[in-house]
Amino acid sequence: MPVRAIIADVAREAGVSMMTVSRVVNNKEGVSLETRQAVEEVILKLNYRPNNFARGLATKRTGTLGLVVPDISNPFFSGVARGVEKAAFADGYSILVCNTEEDPQRELDVLGLLLEKCVDGLVLCSSRLKKQKLQTILAQYPAAVLVNKQLEGVNVPPSVGCVLINDKAGGQMATSHLIKSGHKVIGFLSGPTVSQSSRWREEGYRQALTEAGLPYRPEMVVPCAPTVEGGQQAAAQLLAVHPEITALFCFNDLVAVGVIQACKESDRAIPNDLAIIGYDDTILAPLVTPSLTTCRVEREELGRLATGLLLKRLGGCIDGCEKSILEPALILRASAP
C-alpha cells in the first residue's frame, strides 16, 4: 500500500513552505497565482488529502454537523435531510444523521452521542423532548437550529435559532377550503400530542371554523401516530363514532393515505362521501388514488434555511433566537377538489 502524502511532502515537491501549502489548501490570501497553481499541481500529483483530524485540532472544528430526525423513512424528514446535506456540502461540511424513531430517550442518547463526536453544530427536527431538558442540552452545543420547534417559556440559549413552517396558516387554509366546498362537519387527525406542529395546525383549523360560524367540537380532533397505520386506525374509529363527518384534515400525507385506506375498507367514496386534505405534499400525494389535496411545504428549502442559519451562527452572527418562517401552499387534487 503506498504511503499517504503529507503536507511536508507537498511543500518539498513544490519548493515552498508548509504554511504556503496550508494557505492554498484553505483558499487563503497571500499566495501568488503562479505559486498557487504550482502547489495545486503537486497536490494532484501526490494525491494529497488534508488530515481533517489534525485540522480540527488546530481550528477547534471538526467540519461535521449533526442532523437529528424523528423518522428518516418519513418523506418529509428525508426531504429536509436532503436540503441540509446539500447546503452543508456546499460549505465544506459533512453530516452525521441520527434517527430517533420518535423515541424521546433515543433522542436524548443521540444528542449526547453527537456532543461526544464534537460536531460543530446541530440541526434538530421536531424534537420530542420536554423544553427544559432540551434547553439544557442545546446550551452545550456551539450552535443549534430547531426545525419546526420553538422553545417557549424558557430562557433560550443565544446560540439556538429556529426555522418554522407557518402551520397555523396551513391549518386555516386547509379547513377554509373544506368549508368553502360546503363541508360543515370537519374532523382533524392531529398527529402526536407532543407535537408543536399539531397544536399550531389545530389552532388554524379552529380559527377557520370560528370565522365561518361553525362550532369547534373537541371530540372531532383525534391524535394519532404520524403514519399510514396511525391514520387508518384513527379514521376508522372516528368515523364509526361520528358518521356525520364529511371531511377530514390530516396532520400529514402519511396519515391522509391511511384515511384513504380506511375509506376503501368501509366503502366510502372520496371525495363524495369524505373529502381529505393532507399536509407536506410528499411524493405520495400525487401517486395515491385518488390523488391527495395537501398543504405543500418546501422540505428541501426548510433544510437549506436551517443549515444557512446554523452556519451563520457558527460564523459568529448571533442575534438572539433568530427564526425563519416558511409559508405553506394549498395544492388541490382529487381528494378535495
Q: pLDDT, tens digit, for every residue of 279-331?
A: 999 999 999 999 999 999 999 999 999 999 999 888 877 665 677 899 999 99
Q: What is the pLDDT of residue 129?
A: 85
29 residue type, one letter:
E
pLDDT value at 137 more than 70: yes
Nearest to 126 by CA among 200, 63, 187: 200
Range in 23-32, 39-48, 137-146, 258-267 with the lowest mean pLDDT: 23-32
Q: What is the pTM of this model?
A: 0.80
Contact 263, 296 (CB under 8 A): no
The confidence band for 57, taking pLDDT boundaries of 50, 70 and 90, is low
Tell me whether domains 62-166+299-328 and 167-296 share a fold: yes
Helix (H) or strand (E) holding 51: none
User: What pLDDT, on the 0 to 100 scale, is given for residue 28?
Assistant: 77
Average pLDDT over residues 169-193: 96
Q: Is the pLDDT of residue 142 over 60?
A: yes
Q: How confident is the model at residue 159 (pLDDT cuts 50, 70, 90)?
A: confident
Among 2.60.40.3620, 1.10.3720.10, 2.40.30.10, 3.40.50.2300, name the CATH number for the domain at 167-296: 3.40.50.2300
Confidence of residue 163 (pLDDT cuts 50, 70, 90): very high
Q: Tell me: the pLDDT tens digits for 6-22?
A: 888 888 999 999 889 88
Checking if the pLDDT of 52 tops 70, the result is no
What strand order describes the sheet that includes 329-331? 221-223, 186-191, 247-250, 275-280, 293-296, 329-331
Q: Residue 47: what pLDDT?
A: 85
Per-domain residue ranges for the chain?
7-50, 62-166+299-328, 167-296
Q: What is the mean pLDDT of the chain?
A: 91
**Per-residue confidence (pLDDT) for residue 118, from 0 to 100:** 87
Query: CA angle at residue 48 from 43 to 50, to 5 degrees?
Result: 115
Q: Which CATH architecture has domain 7-50?
A: Orthogonal Bundle (1.10)
What residue has cell string 408543536?
A: 196
Asked if the 62-166+299-328 domain carries CATH number 3.40.50.2300, the reply is: yes
Please check the confidence at residue 335 and state whether its pLDDT lies above 60. yes
* Strand ranges of the sheet holding 160-165, from the earlier edge strand across to the other edge: 94-99, 64-69, 121-125, 144-147, 160-165, 323-326
